[in-house]
Each structure stands twice: as structure tokens, then as C-alpha cells.
Chain A
């Protein structure tokens, strides 16, 4: 399949597709980060994660429309506001869901899977009722449009670079919170021994609720980023959920580094293959490769060997 291209062409293709893959990578990382926190730390399978992302996307769309209409002078900066609102909206919904549904299902991961699938159906239908079945697109402010010419053949879109930078920042922040903050330590304590954590005075219910909220909030931010590369519709989230779960599982559920590495591998593989094959075959091959590797190494790429 490489035969028709010269070497420098190939280099440019790989670089361009690489950058295209980086935006996909950003969405994957942000989605997977939230899922990895919820699954890795709490053992909950959140099938409605895509819908939390789409909530963030809708919030971003509403904010951008509102700015266009009422505050056109501030429009260039709307994205930062939108992103914060998306985080808050998805996070709040996440905490509500944790309280109403998830907390009854700890230790029953297969049941969380089914229940959150039901939740995702309800959310999809709710979006359809509120926002309509038609997909909506967000208008980008001027400074994010266009692309930067790196060499003669390679150019990278500015919004892509922006989203990438954002992803890196959020990832670092999450890692910092989980590893160093007092709250992060409480989360890990609850994960390792719920009873003992309760006994030393950690409010485990509160920790659970905020952890779930954080995971969903990050999904909301992922939704903000998503508006830049795709249009938002009621069922757009569902398309990502299986991929994202594979990212999390492939990376080794409990490892943040693994999640990032696996998001990178998968998005790059898919994006590079997409240039040479049809989109659907690229996806089939990527998924098949992941499933095959998982069969050989079920614990994922990064996992610790411990005595159970």
C-alpha cells in the first residue's frame, strides 16, 4: 500500500496524519482519563460516559451561541468559559447519578454496566427531546481557525494544537490531584480498603461522589474539545464509548500512564491506517489488533504484579 508514494510524500503523510491523530488522541485521553478514574479507582463501568461528554459538547455549543448573540466582543474567549461550564455541568450530573444510581451498585461491576447503559439511553433521548435530533456545530473564533505551515508539505491546524495543549494541562492537573493532593490520597485509600478508610475518618461516600463527579466532569471537558473536530448529536457519544473502554483496558485499568500511552498508540494507529485504507477497515484493523493483544496480555500494557 505504500508503493504509490515517494519517501518524502510518505514522511509528510505520516506527519500530517500524526497531527490529525493527535486531536483524536486528545479526545481519547480526556474521555479515557475520566473512565479510567471511574473504572480504575471505583470499579464502575460507566457506559453513559459518552453521554456525559456530549453534555459538555452541548454546553459548549450553547455558550458559543450565547456569546455570539449577546457578547460578540468577547467571543474569541468563549471557549474557556464554555469549558469550565461543561466541566461543572457534567460533573454535577455525575454526582447526581452517583447518588441516585451508582452508590447502590458498588461491587457489582456487571450491573453498573447494564444500569449505566440504561442511563445512556435515557440521556440520549433527553438530548433528542431538548436539542432536537439534528446535529449542531460550534463556530470557532477566528484565532483558532486556519492552520500553521510547518514545512512545504506539512501543515497543522491551530485548533488541534490548542486542544492538545489543553489536554496536556488537564492530564497533568488530574495526575497531580490524584497523586499529591490530600483528596487524591483519600481516593486511593478508599480504593484499597474501603472499610479501613472509613474507620480512619475518611467520608467514603463523599469521596466516591466527588471521584465520580470528577470523572464525568473531565468527560464534559472532552466534549468541549470534541466540538472542534466533530458535530454534536444525541448519539455521537455512543460511537466513542467502546473505543474509549478499549483504550482504558488496553492501558491497564489502574494506570494513568498506561491510559495515555494506549490512547496515543490507538489514535495514531487508526489515523495513520485511515489514510491508506478505508475508514471502516482502519477501524476494524485497529480494534482487531487491540483485541488480539488483550487476549495475549489481558492485564493491559501497564499492570503491576501483586499477590492477590
Chain B
């Protein structure tokens, strides 16, 4: 497939390389394995952020239920790991050996039917993508075909996040309840708790993250990306240009859901458990703020936002737990009132022009910083 112009323009290429350098080289070399694992945990939210950039930043569809998809991906992975950890041998002290411990505590004597496919690793991998994808498709189709959008969509997705949490907490025999699915040990026989495994998992995650960045960038550069922008501002004009607006919204929402699910699955692997506290209203809206801080229009911004806000969260809530909520609250307000395009907006408005000027001065040639020349006619 040929894309008309360069895949990344110059400043995007610099951003891409800087991020790659940081995640592939600098952080692994400079951090101990505990800290590196923390970074890996933060980065799982970057997957959600990339999806939100497409869906919210570009398409204008604010979903306050991304935690649901993050959770679905995470739970799919956790179910597989839990089944592997609950072999008959490991669980022989239970009254029903061979089923997860929390089921035994809740007097279940048989593995529920929807757990059974998760004995298979390939099916798990497919489910991580398909379950959230199909769920998002159903929600999206039901809402967008009927022109539910804007704040109504936001509130309904929030309600879905609430429903999901209550359901998971309430049905503890099937889901592990409020504690979630814990005590996960091996992936396909490979112990994920060792330092070595955590090191490898970090790199697996970063590779996946870059794959998602490239995929998102690809979508952004196709005509579909431009239609998302067009839709955000003049939905009717898109409709009267012959496009089914609903289908494009469904696509953006499903893509965001799948990105979030990949992040969730990686979260389970990195952290070693999954619980409803990553599914509900509060985590979902926090995922939105990571994206907003990084810049809702910037794929790289979403990654930086996830890293920085979570880093601040960890360091502040360790030392000043009261301050953190004030800080997070202030962040929400500041990013809306003062910096609607987040860090990437600040970068583009204040830092980038200076760099350009510096470079231009050195080359003593007028700089051509923004390559909006896509498809320009030959002079």
C-alpha cells in the first residue's frame, strides 16, 4: 500500500525517534527492574490514549467507558492465566480441584461455560481483540445509527462503565469480585513473575505500543482520518457528501476499544492481576485525562501524557496523598481552560517554532517546518 506523502513529517519523525530512544534504550538502561515495571504499567494506559486520540481528538466522540474495554482485554488475559495457575495439581486442596480458587470459595463446582475457551492461548489472544471489538460495535451501532452523540454518548458510556463494575463486583463466583483475578503465575508455562520475564514483557509491550502508534498514524493519514476531522466539525456536510457518518464513528470507537483492550491485556501481564478497579467510572475518566494532558490531537502526546501523569500520581500519592487529588482535579480544569491541546499543543506553539527558527538560522534558509504540502499541485 502506498501512502501519498511521507509517513511521518519531520517533526513527527523526531517525536517518533525520541520516543523510541527513550523507551527502547534510555529507560531500560537507567531504571531498575521495579521502576521499569512501573513504566510498563503506565504505558498500558498509552494504548488507551492512542485510541482516544483517534476517537475523541479526531472523531470528536468522547467515550467515558474506555475502562470497560481495557478491563475486557485484561480479564480475557487474566482468565487464561488463572486457568493455567489453577491446574488440578495446584488446586488439589480445594473441594473442587481444577477450578480457580475464588470459584471454589463461592461454592461453584464446575467451570462456567464462558471460562472454558480460555484454556486455549490462541483463542485467548483472539478474544482479547474480538470481545471488546464486538462489544464496542454493538454499543456503537446502537448509538450512532440513532444519532446519539456528544454528551449523551459520554454519559451512556459512563453508565456502561458503572454497570460493568457493579456486575463484576456482584458476580464474584464468576469474576473474582472486588479483588479481581489474582495470583497469576505463568503464561504458557513461562513464569511471568521473575525479573527476567518482566524485562522481556516490557520490551514486548513497547514493540506492541509502537505497532499501535504506526497503525494509528496510518489511520490518521488515510482519507478516513480526514473524514473523522471533517465529521467532528460538520457532521451534516459529511453525510451530504455521501458518507454514512455512523459507520465511521463505529469504526473509530471499535478501533479505540481494541487499542484499549491490548493495553488491558498487557496490564494483566505486567502487574500480575486484574480487578474491577481498572474498569469503572473513575479509571475510565482518568484515562481521558492522560490523553488530554498529552494532547487530544497527538498520538505521541497520548504516550507522554500517560507516562507523565502516572509518574506524577505515583510520586505524589506516595508522599502527599491529599495533594494528589487536588492536583489531579486542578489538572482536569487546567487542561480544559488553559491548554486544550495539552502538552503537544504547548510544544507545537512554543517550542517547535523556536527549534525551527534555530535550524533555519543555521541553514540560513527559510525553514519549512510544517509539511502541510500534502498533495500540493506541482508548481
Query: How far is A281 from B64 in the complex, measured between Cα atoms in Å?
Result: 22
The reply on B126 being an interface residue by CB < 8 A is no
Which of B5-13, B102-110, B145-153, B242-250 lines the interface with chain A? B145-153
How many chain A residues sit at the interface, stated as a range, is: 35 or more
Specify which chain B residues have a CB less than 8 angstroms from the CB of A284 in the assembled complex: 163, 166-167, 170
Contacts A101-B333, A125-B322, A128-B322 hold; do A114 and B155 have CB atoms under 8 A apart?
Answer: no
Interface residues contributed by chain B, number (CB under 8 Å): 40
Whether A115 contacts B163 by the Cβ 8 Å rule is no
- Interface SS of chain B: helix
B343 → A minimal CB distance (Å)? 16
Whether B163 contacts A280 by the Cβ 8 Å rule is no
The reply on B229 being an interface residue by CB < 8 A is no
Contacts A125-B326, A129-B322, A278-B170 hold; do A119 and B159 have CB atoms under 8 A apart?
Answer: no
The reply on A290 being an interface residue by CB < 8 A is yes
Whether A104 contacts B151 by the Cβ 8 Å rule is no
The digit string for A172-189, where 1 denotes a CB below 8 A from any CB of B, is 000000000000000000
The reply on B251 being an interface residue by CB < 8 A is no
The reply on B154 being an interface residue by CB < 8 A is yes
The reply on A92 being an interface residue by CB < 8 A is no
Within 8 A of B (CB), among A276-300: 278, 280-281, 283-284, 287-288, 290-291, 294-296, 298
Whether A249 contacts B336 by the Cβ 8 Å rule is no
Return the chain A residue nearest B56 by Cβ.
Answer: A110
Partner of B150, one of A109, A119, A122: A109
Partner of B170, one of A110, A117, A242, A280: A280
Which of B32-40, B195-203, B285-293, B307-315 lines the interface with chain A? B285-293
The reply on B162 being an interface residue by CB < 8 A is yes
- Among A101, A114, A120, the most chain B Cβ lie within 10 Å of the Cβ of A114
Return the chain A residue nearest B161 by Cβ.
Answer: A242
The reply on B271 being an interface residue by CB < 8 A is no
Partner of A115, one of B146, B288, B333: B333
Query: How far is A284 from B276 in the complex, measured between Cα atoms in Å?
Result: 15
Contacts A110-B62, A114-B289, A298-B152 hold; do A122 and B143 have CB atoms under 8 A apart?
Answer: no
Query: How far is A245 from B157 in the complex, measured between Cα atoms in Å?
Result: 12
Contacts A242-B162, A280-B166 hold; do A294 and B336 have CB atoms under 8 A apart?
Answer: no
The reply on A246 being an interface residue by CB < 8 A is yes
A12 → B minimal CB distance (Å)? 27
The reply on A111 being an interface residue by CB < 8 A is yes
Whether B325 contacts A124 by the Cβ 8 Å rule is yes
Return the chain B residue nearest A39 by Cβ.
Answer: B151
Return the chain A residue nearest B163 by Cβ.
Answer: A287
Within 8 A of B (CB), among A59-95: none
Whether A298 contacts B147 by the Cβ 8 Å rule is yes
Query: How far is A246 from B337 in the complex, measured between Cα atoms in Å?
Result: 26
Specify which chain A residues have a CB less than 8 angstroms from the CB of B142 in the assembled complex: 295
Whether B329 contacts A118 by the Cβ 8 Å rule is yes
The reply on A45 being an interface residue by CB < 8 A is yes
Specify which chain A residues have a CB less than 8 angstroms from the CB of B331 in the assembled complex: 118
Contacts A111-B340, A119-B329, A121-B332 hold; do A287 and B159 have CB atoms under 8 A apart?
Answer: yes
Specify which chain B residues have a CB less than 8 angstroms from the CB of A140 in the assembled complex: none
The reply on A261 being an interface residue by CB < 8 A is no
The reply on B158 being an interface residue by CB < 8 A is yes
Whether A249 contacts B152 by the Cβ 8 Å rule is yes
Return the chain B residue nearest A104 by Cβ.
Answer: B337
The reply on A105 being an interface residue by CB < 8 A is yes
Contacts A109-B150, A114-B289, A114-B292 hold; do A280 and B169 have CB atoms under 8 A apart?
Answer: yes
Query: How far is A295 from B142 in the complex, measured between Cα atoms in Å?
Result: 6
B22 → A minimal CB distance (Å)? 28
Specify which chain A residues have a CB less than 8 angstroms from the CB of B151 in the assembled complex: 45, 109-110, 113
Whether A101 contacts B166 by the Cβ 8 Å rule is no
Whether A294 contacts B162 by the Cβ 8 Å rule is no
Query: How far is A298 from B329 in the complex, measured between Cα atoms in Å?
Result: 31
Contacts A283-B166, A287-B163, A291-B156 hold; do A121 and B62 have CB atoms under 8 A apart?
Answer: no
Contacts A118-B331, A122-B325 hold; do A111 and B159 have CB atoms under 8 A apart?
Answer: no
Query: How far is A280 from B143 in the complex, measured between Cα atoms in Å?
Result: 25
Query: How far is A109 from B336 in the complex, measured between Cα atoms in Å?
Result: 11
The reply on B330 being an interface residue by CB < 8 A is yes
Return the chain B residue nearest A122 by Cβ.
Answer: B329
Partner of A114, one of B150, B158, B326, B336: B336
B170 → A minimal CB distance (Å)? 3
The reply on B79 being an interface residue by CB < 8 A is no
* CB-based closest 6 A-B pairs: A118-B332, A280-B170, A121-B329, A122-B329, A125-B325, A118-B329
9 contacts between A and B (CB under 8 A): A108-B336, A110-B154, A114-B332, A117-B285, A119-B329, A119-B333, A120-B329, A242-B158, A295-B146
List 20 additional contacts besides A125-B322, A298-B146; criterion CB under 8 Å: A45-B154, A105-B336, A111-B336, A113-B154, A122-B326, A125-B329, A128-B322, A242-B159, A242-B162, A245-B158, A245-B159, A278-B170, A280-B170, A284-B166, A284-B170, A287-B162, A290-B159, A291-B156, A291-B163, A295-B142
